[in-house]
Amino acid sequence: MIEKTGKLILLIILLVSGLFCKAQDNIVDKIIWIVGDEAILKSDVERTRMQILSRGGRIEGDPYCFIPEQLAVQKLFLDQAKIDSIDIPNSNVSRAVAQQENGIIANIGSREKVEEYLQASMTELREEWREEMKNSFMVEEAKKNIVGKQGSLTPSEVRKYYAQLPKDSLPYIPTTVEVQIITQEPVIPPTETDRIKQRLREFTDRVNKGESFSTLAIMYSEEPGAAQSGGETGFTGKAQWVPEFANMAFSLSDPKKVSNIVETEYGFHIIQLIERRGDLINVRHILLRPKVSEEALNKTTVRMDSVLSLIDEKKYTFEDFSMLSYDKDTRNNNGLMVNRKQNSSNFGTPRFEMEDLPTEVARVIENMKVGDISKPFKMRMDKNQKEVIAIVKLKSRTERHIANVSDDYLILKEIVEANKEQEVLKKWLQSKIKDTYVFIDDEWRNCDFQYSGWIKE
């Protein structure tokens, strides 16, 4: 307590005397907020603003009001995290930093451009991001602890919430479908596989003779985004790649050498090591995919027509043939597709809004009735972009409707849980603000803050 009081007094003395300032790029830095015994600097606000923009984010309203308040809120949660003795594993922080680095580089264009835009070296930025990510994890854990003490939601609370909503404010539930699928991959002749491998061997020879792997990736790789990244993956953990690619990439030790050819479900690759950092690795790779001929596609379509005939004759069911599907994600699930769109409210469930489905599937089922099975059609798999022939069965369709407890209980439960969590956190924050010393510089007070009580009279 004595130590904290001493730090606070020192901060106030420095603030009043004007000693806590520094010249940085001709801008004088200074303390603009104090929350407890933690200071928020003008430079903290500007750095946060630049980081948000570098990630492609948007700031609603005045950033010089919104950002300081958010930083102050974070400091309150961090203080609670320390009280709760929350500790975050270093491996989690390292992975998050790598993901952030990869995302910012992809958004801005290159490491050099990131350093120029953010006016710091990558080493300095990684240290900043490391602290930022660790703090972010600690804040989330503190929030979970605060919310977790409130107990779980009961069905009666969901029904009560639904009953008190005005009819004109009830949420609309969009049309959703459940779809089963069977896919078959056309047979690739050995001559096409040999052609791809020979092409990759030529690339390896060219790199060994001094050509740039990155340039070759830009010119020839069939990996989406390779033209912008030079085939670079960004720092990634072993679990994030398919096993064949991961095993080859993590076996590399010499950045000057090129790997042997490795086959994955995406095609054929050669890989070059860039840098290893703990359990993360950054590599470049060139991907080539065997070309599928129209003859091979036609033969596969004929096979799928035969499957349809056997189902029509009731000799086998759609579910029987789903076990032979090329798509391993659905073959052991009676062919039932699972929604993998991260931003979808139905993520992880068999329910799809039409825009969540692969384009070819959505187009085919649009006018189908429940229980109908489509004719064979060509599509590209979302995951690996391979051309396959597919048939689909519409398992269910729920038309757009106003939410009701009997049909949409889980959706309403999620809404009520989110609202309850926000209410609990807001109540906790207002109490914490009331009991915490807060100073705001006069120039930064004229704001419409989200929370009340920041300005102490």
CATH code for the domain of 363: 3.10.50.40
In-domain check, residue 410: no
Identify the pLDDT of residue 225. Answer: 79
- Strand segments, DSSP code E, in 381-424 are 387-398, 401-402
Strand 280-288 to 267-277 pairing: antiparallel
Same domain, 344 and 250: no
25 phi/psi in degrees, rounded to 5: 55, 40
- DSSP string of 268-333, one letter each residue: EEEEEEEEEETTEEEEEEEEE-PPPPHHHHHHHHHHHHHHHHHHHTTSS-HHHHHTT-S-HHHHTT
pTM: 0.68
The last residue of one of the domains, among 254, 288, 322, is 288
At residue 5, does pLDDT exceed 60?
Answer: no
Residue 297 lies in a domain: yes
Residues 179 and 200 placed together within one structural domain of the fold: no
Domain endpoint, select from 273, 288, 303 = 288
CA atoms within 13 A on the CB side of 123: 0
- Judgement on whether residues 70 and 177 belong to the same structural domain of the protein: no
Residues 6+ apart with CB under 8 A from 1: none
Give the three-state DSSP class for 159. helix
pLDDT at 457: 67
Domain count, the chain: 3
Domain boundary pick from 232, 258, 288? 288
What the block records as the tokens of 252 is 């590399």
Would you state the pLDDT for residue 338? Answer: 93
What local confidence, expressed as pLDDT, does residue 171 receive? 83
Q: What is the pLDDT of residue 9?
A: 43
Q: Share the mean pLDDT of the chain.
A: 87
Question: Are both 223 and 100 inside the same structural domain?
Answer: no
For residue 413, tell me if it sits in a domain: no
- 160 inside domain: no
pLDDT bin (cut points 50, 70, 90) of residue 24 is very low
Q: Predicted confidence band at 22 (pLDDT cuts at 50, 70, 90)?
A: very low
Q: What is the mean pLDDT of residues 139-167?
A: 83
Asked, for residue 158, whether it belongs to a domain, the answer is no
With H, G, I as helix, E, B as strand and everything else as coil, classify residue 49.
helix
The whole-number average pLDDT for the span 166-175 is 84
Domain CATH code at residue 49: 1.10.4030.10
Indicate the pLDDT class of residue 95, thresholds 50, 70 and 90.
confident
Is residue 381 assigned to a domain?
yes
Determine, yes or no, domain membership for 203.
Answer: yes
pLDDT tier, 28 (very low <50, low <70, confident <90, very high otherwise): low
Examine the domain organization and report whether 337 and 430 are in the same domain.
no
Q: Is the pLDDT of residue 208 over 50?
A: yes
Average pLDDT on 8-30 reads 48
Res. 21: pLDDT tops 70: no
**Same domain membership, residue 116 and residue 10:** yes
Is 8's pLDDT higher than 60?
no
Which residues does 206 contact at the CB level (< 8 Å), separation at least 6? 216
**122 and 212 housed in the same domain:** no
Residue type, 150: Q
Residues 86 and 109 in one domain: yes
Clarify whether residues 325 and 302 are in a common domain.
yes
Q: Is 348 in the same domain as 378?
A: yes
Residues in contact with 143: Cβ distance below 8 Å, sequence separation at least 6, in sequence order = 77, 421, 425
Asked whether residue 453 is domain-assigned, the answer is no
pLDDT at 433 over 80: yes
Q: Provide the residue range defining the domain that includes 75.
A: 2-151+419-444
DSSP per residue, 371-384? T-BPPPEEEE-TTT
* Same domain as 177, residue 201: no
- Written as one letter, the residue type at 57 is G
- Segment 328-347 shows an average pLDDT of 88
130 and 52, same structural domain? yes
Beta-sheet pairing, 38-41 with 31-35: antiparallel
Band of residue 47 on the pLDDT scale cut at 50, 70, 90: confident
Determine which of 126-130, 206-210, 307-311 has the lowest per-residue pLDDT on average.
Answer: 126-130
